[in-house]
C-alpha cells in the first residue's frame, strides 16, 4: 500500500478515468450502432481482416501519388497545348480561359 498523502487523489483520478473510459466506450457503441454493424457482418458472412497500418499508409501514399501524377500530367498537357495554340496564333501573350476535362481534353477560350 502506498503511504503518500496523494494516494487517495491518485486512486480517485484512476477511478474517474476508468469510469469515463467505460462511459465513452458505451456512448460510442450506442451512437455508431456498433452491435447492428457487427450483426450485419455476421449476417452476410463477411470477415474483417487486420491489416498492417504501415502497409495501409504505403498503399494510400501510392494512390495519392498516382492521383497527383495524373493531375501534373494534365497541367503539363494544358501548358503544352496552350503554348502550341499561342504559336499558331503568332501571339506572344493572350488572355484566355483554359479548361481541362477529366479525360484530358483541353479547351481554350479567348477572354479578350
> What pLDDT is recorded for position 9?
78
Measured between alpha carbons, how far is 22 from 16 in angstroms, rounded to an integer? 10
> What pLDDT is recorded for position 19?
94
The number of residues in the chain equals 112
Model confidence pLDDT, tens digit, residues 34-66: 889 888 888 888 888 888 999 999 999 999 999
Q: Would you place residue 6 in the very low, low, confident or very high pLDDT band (cuts 50, 70, 90)?
A: low
The pLDDT > 90 percentage for the chain reads: 30
Burial (CB < 10 A; 0-12, 13-18, 19+), residue 82, is: middle
DSSP code of residue 6: T
> What pLDDT is recorded for position 112?
61
DSSP 65-98: HHHHHHHHHHHHHHHHHHHHHHHHHT-S---EEE
> What pLDDT is recorded for position 46?
83
88, three cell numbers? 499558331
Model confidence pLDDT, tens digit, residues 21-34: 999 999 999 999 98
Please state the φ and ψ torsions of residue 107, each to the nearest 5 degrees. Answer: -120, 125
Amino acid at each position: 500500500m502506498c503511504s503518500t498523502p496523494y494516494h487517495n487523489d491518485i486512486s480517485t483520478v484512476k477511478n474517474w478515468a476508468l469510469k469515463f473510459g467505460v462511459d465513452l466506450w458505451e456512448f460510442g457503441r450506442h451512437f455508431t450502432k456498433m452491435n447492428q454493424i457487427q450483426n450485419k457482418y455476421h449476417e452476410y458472412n463477411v470477415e474483417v481482416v487486420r491489416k498492417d497500418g504501415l502497409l495501409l499508409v504505403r498503399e494510400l501514399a501510392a494512390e495519392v501519388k498516382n492521383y497527383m501524377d495524373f493531375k501534373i500530367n494534365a497541367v503539363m498537357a494544358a501548358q503544352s497545348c496552350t503554348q502550341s495554340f499561342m504559336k499558331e496564333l503568332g501571339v506572344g501573350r493572350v488572355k484566355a480561359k483554359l479548361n481541362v476535362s477529366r479525360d484530358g481534353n483541353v479547351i481554350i477560350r479567348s477572354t479578350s
